[in-house]
Structure 1
């Protein structure tokens, strides 16, 4: 997505959230709090000059970090794009949007509850297993993309302990940012029914759908996703898209 968007003249920043991607810190040893997990995005938003806006895209659990940025910097976001992402509402704690997750459907995902010295309550972590990745995340992707995903998978967390204690995002700030939801029609990790349930609870400006996309739409349906993002930028403002 970075290369495709940049080829059209957009300035693009792809952010590895703390403890993810090439960021060397580990969950939960170095990243025990949701606020630390989202800090890379928050720091970027803080550095944007006054008057400059971005198109902010959140994928999967990145939707929670996206929502935090919307609550903190609504004036800096032209539109927020939830790509088959968890999208909280303005009436419940952010953890509510995760409550429909059925852990039994996460197959061979490994769950652990770990004690971190500087945190009072334990942190629950998860590590996606190869079966879940092959059947629910990358099932429509190339064998090469699946192999790369398996080689790079890292311990993660839903940070439910933190998100359940946070107040609901506000209508005045989070709710004031225009939202677009991109539904992925073949997603086996966050089902279409789950995606539409979130859309019903949180009104959006527009719903787009990529019928043949699995959870990793940027790999299974890159051309279709690029077209969606390009239309969004054209419609809501030619600014700097940032991807999570």
Structure 2
């Protein structure tokens, strides 16, 4: 365990986290319903230590409504959550899908990307280079603070690179969060303190890295730039294998439309390590995708194990989706079932 209370390493490859087979139906769904009832009954006790009792503090009754703050991954945007957000809203919850700075509705699109000028695209400057993980953290923390004022429990969910913000925000405002959830997301530790460190670990290197697809010199541009509109069949094959090898070509092409060219190199290198006394107080869940080629399952397992070694009294509850690639199951209801059933 780390001396400073941050996520530390463990010996051995296995994680002793509680695992749930999300593919079982019938009895599992009945147990889930009972757990939700038990969660409502026990919520007051949990709220004292975590801050899930904002509704009690404001005198508002607990209705089972939650606010889900959803954080997208690298080269992506809040629109990534459309299908899951719709399902959560139909179940009576509030949903806030965050666009990180210069992403989504405010995203930067290089002119050379519009015109597909390869030479110009390799050198065109990007304002995304100035972004740091602090900028991402502030954006998400602001959303969490505003959500908490509504009085219902706040659940923070991050996908992929969004896990960095989950860890940072969990450290910053643990009292505002009822639950945190990593969806095939980076969860750095003392031995792997950044996204870069996770990705370059032995487990991380089992993933597909688009090294040959990077446009320009990342060190000069300050961003990792990818040309999602490329006409190169070789590059498109790599992108599909990395992102959604388990999906159809039509689904892959739709996914490409939502991706942006640039992501901050600085944010990749910035530290995002949870601490036992803050982040470690919050109940947490990991959605493990067994055929993920962006964040290898082996890396997911190591991150889970190192987190659990830090807080053995509060471990990840792990839900396995063994056949899911990086985007998760094609049916959003399978993920929504888990998110809706989280204990708060």
Match of 1:109 among 192, 213, 217: 213
TM-fit CA distance, 1:105: 2.9
Q: Quote the offset at 1:98 in angstroms.
A: 3.6
* 1:81–1:182 CA contact under 8 A, matched in 2: yes
Counterpart contact for 1:70–1:77, Cα < 8 Å: yes
Change beyond 3 A, Cα 1:162–1:147: closer
2:194 counterpart of 1:94: yes
| 1:73 to 2:173 alignment | yes
Query: Which of 103, 125, 136 is the aligned partner of 1:37?
Result: 136
Closer/same/farther in 2, CA of residues 151 and 99 from structure 1, 3 Å limit: same
Aligned equivalents of 1:28, 1:53: Cα separation in 2: 38
Provide TM-score, normalisation by structure 2: 0.58
How far, CA to CA, are the matches of 1:11 and 1:51 in structure 2? Answer: 12
Corresponding residue to 2:327 among 216, 220, 225: 216
In 2, Cα distance between the equivalents of 1:157 and 1:29?
10
**Normalized per residue, which structure has more helix?**
2
How many residues get paired? 226
Q: What is aligned with 2:337?
A: 227
Q: Aligned-pair RMSD on alpha carbons?
A: 2.8
Residue 142 (structure 1) aligned to one of 233, 242, 248: 248
Q: Residue 51 of structure 1 contacts residue 76 of structure 1 at CA under 8 Å; is this kept in 2?
A: no
2: CA distance, partners of 1:83 / 1:104: 16
1:46 is aligned to 2:176: no
Measured in 2, the distance between the counterparts of 1:53 and 1:23 equals: 29
Question: Rg larger in 1 or in 2?
Answer: 2
The equivalent residue for 2:259 is 153
Task: Note if contact 1:125-1:157 (Cα within 8 Å) is conserved in structure 2.
Answer: yes
Which runs of 5 or more structure 2 residues have no equivalent in the other structure?
Answer: 1-83, 110-124, 229-234, 309-314
Q: Which residue does 2:224 correspond to in 1?
A: 125
1:195–1:42 Cα change, 3 Å: same
**CA–CA distance in structure 2, aligned partners of residues 3 and 192 of structure 1:** 28
Given the alignment of the two structures, is residue 20 of structure 1 paired with residue 103 of structure 2, yes or no? yes
Note the alpha carbon deviations across 1:198-220, whole angstroms, 9 max, x for none. 111111331101122110016x2
Tell me, in whole angstroms, the C-alpha distance in 1 between the residues paired with 2:152 and 2:159. 23
Structure 2 equivalent of residue 186 of structure 1: 291
* Equivalent in 84, 88, 110 of residue 5 of structure 1: 88
Shift of 1:52: 4.7
CA contact (8 A) 1:180 1:207 kept: yes
Structure 2 residue aligned with 1:175, among 257, 280, 286? 280
Q: Secondary structure at the match of 2:218?
A: strand
Which structure is higher in strand share? 1
* Gapped regions of structure 1 (runs ≥ 5): 116-121, 238-244
